[in-house]
Structure 1
Amino acid sequence: MFWPVTLLGALTGWLLAGIPGALLGALLGQVVDRRMQLDSWSAWHRFSYRQPELQGDELLFVLLGCLAKVGGRVHEAHIRTARAEMQRRQLGKTQQLLAIKAFNRGKSGKDSLRESLERLQSNPQEAKTLLQACWRMARAVEQSDTRERERILLWGKWLGWAPEAVVALDVGRRQGFSSGRPSAYQDALRLLGVNTDSEPQAIKQAYRRLLSQHHPDKLAGLGASPARIREATERTGELHEAYLLVRQRRGFR
């Protein structure tokens, strides 16, 4: 273990007052190191260049931007999902511009998010809202990256949530399509409006048609209420999960 302020204090004290000064400087530096938990040069670097705390809409869209970029490429579906979140939160024009800026900032992956998330442990409702939005972003594309799930579970840990509680917020799992229930496959077929004999092309067409009908962006353009947009966002997640299950069971891409 290495204490940077202790070393700096000892060096400064020695230059100013010799050995007694070095001892006093080291003692004072040790107090600072322990109080600030500075046990390495990297910890000192993080402390010295600490970024302002992220909160509210800015924190949410930084998280979403980070998730969208996890797989290496931001898809159009990620952009649509971010816009749907703006509608969900009823952001005005100026707020939307700030949200876009935060989303792009999140894609860079340069923010240290732990402290901002840990501060929300005392606000479980806001933490829940963030995690639900993150799951919706993770479900934006047909094949979600396992790294997205790992990232959400890590953020949930920093928010003070148990892994099973974080997973329970996943819309698709809550609907049971990923739960392994015997009826999950039949439920997925019914949601898509197809049956066990339907050809893969017909299943794909049904999925795309329903996705178009229920997509939040389309409803937002028609002036739908926030509640209706929220329902559409959840239904989109259900459709993603149902289609993924059917595709895996039937063995087509």
Structure 2
Amino acid sequence: MRWPATLLGAAAGLALASIPGALLGGLLGYLLDRRLQLDSWPTFVRRLRGQVLPHGDELLFMLLGRVAKGDGRVLPEHIRLARGEMKRLGLDEAQQTLAIAAFGRGKHHERGWRLSLLPLRRDAVRAENWLRSCWAMARAGGAVSVASGERIRLWGRWMGLPAERVEQLAAEFEPVVKRSAPVRRHDDYAKALTLLGVSEASSAEQVKRAYRKLLSLNHPDKLAGQGASQAQLRAATERTRELHSAYAKVREQRGFR
């Protein structure tokens, strides 16, 4: 973690008034870093250029807007969930107006969000709550699409959450299966479709493309080359196994190679 204003203040103070100046300059810079949330040099440069990064409730509702719009159009269920999130956070009327505006902006772009999400590495509780809200929004329209799922997983990495924890949060919003009902072959087929992010109406070629894309994104060999941790590699190995099994089930049911 770098605190740019703190470092600059200390350097300037040292040049002007030796050690006491460095201490005073560093303190003033630290207060400025905290006030403006300057937690990295890229953030500092953006501030100098007048580019304000979204944060707090504004950023959360931009994320939710992006998830809602990710599959093409915003459904009434998405709006209902967004309203429920405002209520959960206890937003007043003015804050709700700002949240609605952020939700609308989030539907159209996600530029610079990585820098905005990095500070959540210091607040795992908030990071997890935000991802729960995102997974719930992704589930509002039915099965989580491939694009929405990978987008939320990417945000989780930016927030510093382990891959297995992100998957655990996703599992909280899986449809509940009644334990009293016997498991049928059709149930396994439906689960396989959901895991691949496709539907009964998807063509064989669409199923193959979805499978290959997910396999490429989650293959442990690829993550190993990116410096992933052992825990992340174990999670990737398990997810790859699940993808192989799901694809085999769909091929068997649909009768294509």
> Against the structure 1 CA distance between its residues 169 and 47, is the aligned structure 2 distance closer, same or farther, given a 3 Å change threshold?
same
Q: Which of 176, 187, 190 is equivalent to 2:179?
A: 187
Measure the CA separation in 1 of the matches of 2:148 and 2:169. Answer: 14
Q: CA deviation at 1:59?
A: 0.9
* Aligned counterpart, 1:3: none
After TM superposition, list the pairs within 5 Å mapping 1:115-130 onto structure 2. Answer: 115-130=115-130
Q: CA deviation at 1:188?
A: 8.3
Give the aligned residue type for 1:67: V
> Against the structure 1 CA distance between its residues 185 and 99, is the aligned structure 2 distance closer, same or farther, given a 3 Å change threshold?
closer
Measure the CA separation in 1 of the matches of 2:54 and 2:159. Answer: 14
Matched, 1:111 2:102: no
* Structure 2 unmatched runs, 5+: 1-39, 187-249
* Structure 1 unmatched runs, 5+: 1-34, 38-43, 178-183, 191-195, 197-248
Count of residues paired in the alignment: 145
SS of equivalent to 1:169: helix
After TM superposition, list the pairs within 5 Å mapping 1:75-224 onto structure 2. Answer: 75-170=75-170, 173-174=171-172, 185-187=177-179
Q: CA deviation at 1:91?
A: 1.0
Q: CA deviation at 1:185?
A: 4.5
Measure the CA separation in 1 of the matches of 2:172 and 2:143. Answer: 18
Check the 8 A contact 2:63/2:134 in 1, yes or no: yes
Q: CA deviation at 1:168?
A: 0.7
Measure the CA separation in 2 of the matches of 1:176 and 1:107. Answer: 24
> Against the structure 1 CA distance between its residues 50 and 137, is the aligned structure 2 distance closer, same or farther, given a 3 Å change threshold?
farther
Measure the CA separation in 2 of the matches of 1:62 and 1:124. Answer: 19
Q: CA deviation at 1:105?
A: 0.7
* Aligned counterpart, 2:61: 61
Give the aligned residue type for 1:115: L
Check the 8 A contact 2:120/2:127 in 1, yes or no: yes
Measure the CA separation in 2 of the matches of 1:67 and 1:156. Answer: 14
Which TM-score applies when normalising by structure 2?
0.49
Q: CA deviation at 1:51?
A: 3.1
SS of equivalent to 1:53: coil
Larger Rg: 1
Measure the CA separation in 2 of the matches of 1:69 and 1:80. Answer: 14
Structure 1 vs Structure 2 CA RMSD: 3.2
Per-residue CA deviations over 1:154-188 (Å, capped at 9, x if unaligned) read: 00000011211111112xx24775xxxxxx74438
> Against the structure 1 CA distance between its residues 188 and 155, is the aligned structure 2 distance closer, same or farther, given a 3 Å change threshold?
farther
* Aligned counterpart, 1:218: none
Give the aligned residue type for 1:77: E
Q: Which has the higher contact order (CA 8 A, sep 6+)?
A: 1
Per-residue CA deviations over 1:166-214 (Å, capped at 9, x if unaligned) read: 11112xx24775xxxxxx7443869xxxxx9xxxxxxxxxxxxxxxxxx
Q: CA deviation at 1:72?
A: 1.7
SS of equivalent to 1:103: helix
Q: CA deviation at 1:36?
A: 6.1
* Aligned counterpart, 2:213: none
> Against the structure 1 CA distance between its residues 188 and 132, is the aligned structure 2 distance closer, same or farther, given a 3 Å change threshold?
farther
Measure the CA separation in 2 of the matches of 1:176 and 1:66. Answer: 20
Q: CA deviation at 1:131?
A: 0.7
Give the aligned residue type for 2:63: L
* Aligned counterpart, 2:6: none
